[in-house]
Chain A
Amino acid sequence: GQQVMQIPQYQHVQEGEDFTTYCNSSTTLSNIQWYKQRPGGHPVFLIQLVKSGEVKKQKRLTFQFGEAKKNSSLHITATQTTDVGTYFCPGAGSYQLTFGKGTKLSVIP
C-alpha cells in the first residue's frame, strides 16, 4: 500500500479543546480512509474521502481531503472523553491497507 505519514503521533488535550491530526503522502492518493481504535478495541471505519478538496462532517468530526489528493486531516471540535483512542489514515494499495502508528489522542477531563 501507499505510505502515508501521520502527525502528531501523540496528542494530549483538555476536554473541550479542539484536536487535529494530519496525514501526508508523497504520491497522489485515489482515496483515503479514516479509522478509530478505542483502547483495547479494534479499528472501526469512520469515513472514506475520494474527491479532491472533499470535506465531510460527522457531528464534531470534520474530515478533509486536500486539493492535490496528497494530504488529509481530521479535526475534532470540543473533544470529549469518548474521543479517546488512536486515529488511523491507512495508505491504500490494491485492496490492501497499510496502517501506520496513527495518532493517539488522550483527553484530560
Chain B
Amino acid sequence: NAGVTQTPKFRILKIGQSMTLQCTQDMNHNYMYWYRQDPGMGLKLIYYSVGAGITDKGEVPNGYNVSRSTTEDFPLRLELAAPSQTSVYFCASLGGIGVGYTFGSGTRLTVV
C-alpha cells in the first residue's frame, strides 16, 4: 500500500496562475481532507469529502476548489494564485472511527 500520495512535492507559481494539487489514496477510505500549514502554525482545514461526489468547505476554503469523482482521488484546485496561498498543503484520509488520519507527504507551494 502506498497510502496517501501527493503530487507535486514542490511548486513555484506566479501570481494569477492556476494549478491542481493531486491527492490519491489506495486504502479505500471514504473520508478525505485538505489542510494547509503556514510556518510555525497548526493545520487549517480547507475542504473535506465524506465520499465520492460529496465535498464540503472547511475553515479556509476561499481561493480553492475540490472535486471527488472517485473514492481514490481528491484534487485541490487553486485558481488565480495569490502570495497568501504560499503554504504547505497536506492531503489526508480517514478509514473510520478509531483510527487516525493518514497524511500525505505534502506539497510545498510558493506563490511569487
Give me the interface of A with B, judged by CB distance under 8 Å.
Answer: 33, 35, 41-48, 50, 88, 95-102
Contact = CB atoms under 8 A, between A and B. Distances in A.
A98 B45 contact: yes
B104 A42 contact: yes
Contacts of A102: 42
A61 B44 CA distance: 27
B102 A96 contact: no
Given A88-B42, A96-B45, A100-B42, A43 B31 contact: no
A43 B101 contact: yes
A43 B44 CA distance: 13
Interface of B: 31, 33, 35, 40-45, 48, 50, 58-59, 90, 92, 94, 98-106
B102 A45 contact: yes
B42 A101 contact: yes
B100 A35 contact: yes
Contact of A42 (B41, B44, B90, B100): B90
B98 A43 contact: no
Q: Which 8 A-B pairs have the closest CB atoms?
A: A45-B100, A99-B43, A99-B42, A42-B103, A101-B42, A100-B42, A43-B103, A42-B106
Contacts of A46: 100
Nearest to B94: A95
A2 to B, nearest CB: 13
B58 A97 contact: no
